[in-house]
Structure 1
Amino acid sequence: MTRPAKSFYRVMLGRQSAHAAECIAGGFMGADFGIEQDLSGKLPDEWRQFNAAFIPVFLASRPGKSKIAAGLACGALWTVAKGIQAGDVVLSPDGAGRYHVGEVQGHYHYAPGQVLPHRRRVNWLPIAIDRAAMSEALRNSTGSLLTVANITDYHQEIEQFLAALPGQAAPNIVATDPVVEDPVAFAMEKHLEDFLVKNWSQTELARHFKIYEEDGELVGQQYGTDAGPIDILAVSKDSQRLLVVELKRGRASDVVVGQILRYMGYVKEQIAEAHQTVEGVIIALDDDQKLRWALLAVPSISFYRYQVSFKLIKH
């Protein structure tokens, strides 16, 4: 798939879109996270440098928060203030089932004493996309509970929405995924993820782990990282172990071992506390001999098979 010249993001304007109306009326987007200082001149090109400098600042004012929460907050703040470029497109929910669309126009500025003081100027377009009109894949991506989600993979669908004039019906679009060419297979993988999250308590993993939450919100699903999105990030009930879960439709090959090791390395380096270990789980319909050999050398990664049950009920 050809990548667009600009990127596309879903940005939450306050907790549960609380400040969406004010941002749209004022022509800006912003973030807070309790870091009460002007970040002008303090926004490096690499988010890792920003996190290294400001995670301690975040934790100093919130000693009860985890390093995972601090990394999420600082990473989102850097993305809003620096990572999103002028010309990029943002979709922001209004809490009523619609996503307002804007083009980022300005650089970072600080508005002390105001809501979402770390701001960027945005030209909000006279268009709102109904969530119900989106493909299931785009709904899943925009439904992430994280403050910022990169949805550039769905730029073709979004651009078709933008091509429709206000008042016109949105086109009927079937989204494609850059890796999964078969939309049915992609949907299967997303259904597997959603089903696992909703039924986590009934799985073997729930005996020791819970999906990571922050302030009562489930943010461990599609946990965004610089190494790519982690399907599920979980933490043990004693908070001593972090678990990276990678889901694969159909049969998993040894290629997935390198992928999950990349995610585990990121978690170990960037967000794990000194006392926490990092483990991995691959869940797929089946495996092969190459995967079994690879896993023999990596005892910190386990493999689980899933079973799909289909039943017809006559009424």
Structure 2
Amino acid sequence: MLPVDSLYEIKNPIDLDIIYNNWYAVPEFRQNDDTSHKQESNAFKRYKEFRVHEQKMGLGIGQETNTIRTADEVTIEKESYLFALEEHLQDFLIRNLTTIKKHKLKLFEDGERRGKEYPTEVGPIDILTIDEKGDFYVFETKLSKGMDRALGQLLRYMGWVKINLAKDKNVYGIIVANKMDEKIKYAVEVTPNISLCEYEMKFDINFLDKM
């Protein structure tokens, strides 16, 4: 057993393979994974792919490479990869809206479009939801840097929703990121309709009691 508290602390893909194989060898876990349409195993594999990619760019545990890249090339590749991971984050949030216990949210639908990447005249909204009162909640997900830009985008989307959809209903904004910096915390102090949420990548393995 590796001496860590969270799977996120493990950066070596070889170690991740060992954990995955041990986990999948347990019949109860494998059965639960099959029942959930491979949700757990697919999440595990995507995380391992992230660590493999991290190694290739020299951002993880370190791996020599004969390819020399400029800082701009590394940044572009990293942001492109994070964009794919951001979509996984959006899918996870949509499937688990009930975990946001303060509000009973559901994905907004207008008969033609659903609330993921909801198209507007000012850009696509990451996730657009509505509660039981008819109030709107606009989600902006962020994996990379650029919190100030995220706040500006969110305010723009909230304004569009207020004018075009919400009318007399309230519009709230939620920024979801792995880590918030101090600047964004100061900014939301004067924007009462916006909340900040930090997520943590975590994968727990619990043995089940036998029947």
TM over 0.5, yes or no? yes
Q: SS at 2:130's partner residue?
A: strand
Counterpart position of 2:92: 195
- How far apart in 1 are the matches of 2:100 and 2:170? 21
> Judging changes above 3 Å, is the alpha-carbon distance between structure 1 residues 312 and 252 closer, same or farther for their aligned structure 2 residues?
farther
Is the Cα–Cα contact under 8 Å of residues 250 and 286 in structure 1 kept in the other structure?
no
User: What corresponds to 2:171 in structure 1?
Assistant: 278
Displacement, 1:242? 1.1
Write the letter of the residue equivalent to 1:261: L
Within the candidate set 180, 195, 203, 1:310 is matched to: 203
Return the letter of the residue paired with 1:279: Y
CA distance in 2, matches of 1:180, 1:279: 32
- Alpha-carbon contact 1:251-1:288 (below 8 Å) kept: no
Q: Given the superposition, is the C-alpha separation of residues 196 and 285 from structure 1 closer, same or farther in structure 2, using an over 3 Å criterion?
A: same
Q: Is the 8 A contact 1:252 1:287 kept in 2?
A: no
Cα distance in 2 for residues equivalent to 1:204 and 1:257: 23
SS of corresponding position for 1:286: coil
Match of 2:151 in 1: 257
Q: 1:208 touches 1:236 (CA, 8 Å); kept in 2? A: yes
> RMSD of the TM alignment (CA)?
2.5
Q: Say if 2:98 and 2:104, in contact at 8 Å, map to a contact too.
A: no
Q: Deviations over 1:138-190 (max 9, x none)?
A: xxxxxxxxxxxxxxxxxxxxxxxxxxxxxxxxxxxxxxxxx964232122111
How far 1:263 moved relative to its partner? 0.5
- Counting matched residue pairs gives 132
8 Å CA contact 1:285, 1:305 repeated in 2: yes
- Structure 1 SS opposite 2:185: helix
Of Structure 1 and Structure 2, the greater helix share is in 2
**CA distance 1:211–1:254, shift in 2 (3 Å):** same
When normalised by structure 2's length, the TM-score is 0.56
Structure 1 residue runs of 4 or more that deviate by more than 4 Å after TM superposition: none
Deviation at 1:229, TM superposition (A): 0.4
Tell me which of the two structures has the higher relative contact order, counting C-alpha pairs closer than 8 angstroms and 6 or more residues apart.
2
2:120 to 225, 236, 251: 225
Unaligned runs of 5+ in 2: 1-74, 207-211
Aligned residue identity for 2:185: R
**Residue of structure 2 equivalent to 1:289:** 182
Aligned-pair identity (%): 37
- Cα deviation, 1:225-269, whole Å, max 9, x if unaligned, reads 011000111112121x11111001145622211110011111112
Q: Please report the TM-score for the alignment, with normalisation by the length of structure 1.
A: 0.38
Task: For residues 80-126 of structure 1, give each alpha carbon's deviation from its aligned partner in whole angstroms, at most 9, with x where no partner exists.
Answer: xxxxxxxxxxxxxxxxxxxxxxxxxxxxxxxxxxxxxxxxxxxxxxx
Distance in 2 separating the partners of 1:204 and 1:251: 27
Partner of 2:45: none
Task: Give 5+ residue unaligned stretches, structure 1.
Answer: 1-178
